[in-house]
Amino acid sequence: MELVFATQNRNKMEEIQALMPSNVKLLCLKDINCTEDIPETAETIDGNAILKAEYVKNKLGYDCFADDTGLMVDALDGEPGVYSARYAGEHKNDIANMEKLLTNMEGKKNRKARFKTVIALNLNEHEILFTGICTGTITTQPRGDQGFGYDPVFQPDGSNKTFAEMTLLEKSQLSHRSKAVRELIDYLAH
């Protein structure tokens, strides 16, 4: 089976490719000559995943899936949420986003947070959503140099490491994205 993963993000592609069974060949947007930055204009994480998957299916004709992920921090009333990638501005800079988050968290005792990933699959004229959630806490400073995004400041529950201190295999045992991908894989297997 061949499926397009509607992303330009090499880190996401690597994470998901590592989880996929060998009978699923993943293509990214670059592989299908799609260089556009697909708009993420929905008000929800679910909505953005759906927008991206529908864009690839309707404009380019490929069976595909797309994801969107948000970090929700309790002490910040759910921020950055749907704006996680653009928290510090439209330039989508991971370091600037992390710095803004840590600045906004200064003096906050409640550091609980959760990542939510939604995958929208468009396959054989059906659209299905898969969701993965990982709860944890925001650290007071970045730790580790693996991963991407908020990984250096997010410590999942049950671990003494941030995502950025974990190997890809360790992260894939706990992460929100891997939970949603496992649901997707289970669906594709049936």
Asked if 68 is an active-site residue, the reply is yes
pLDDT at 163: 97
3-state helix, strand, coil in the chain (%, to 5): 40, 25, 35
Q: How far apart are CA 7 and CA 21, in angstroms?
A: 19
Buried b (16+ CB within 10 A) or exposed e, 101-130: bbebbeeeeebebbbbbbbbbbbeeeeebb
CA 98 to chain centre: 15
pLDDT at 8: 87
pLDDT at 71: 98
Q: How far, in Å, are 43, 105, 123, 156 from residue 26 at the CA level?
A: 28, 38, 14, 28
Q: Of these residues, 68, 74, 94, 151, which one is catalytic? A: 68
* Domains of the chain with CATH codes: 2-189 (3.90.950.10)
Q: Which residues contact residue 126 at a Cβ distance below 8 angstroms, ignoring those fewer than 6 apart? A: none
Kindly list the averaged pLDDT for each block of 10 residues, start to end, along the chain of length 190.
90 87 91 88 95 93 94 98 92 92 97 98 94 98 94 97 95 93 92
Q: How far apart are CA 168 and CA 151, in angstroms?
A: 12
Q: pTM of the predicted model, to two decimals? A: 0.92
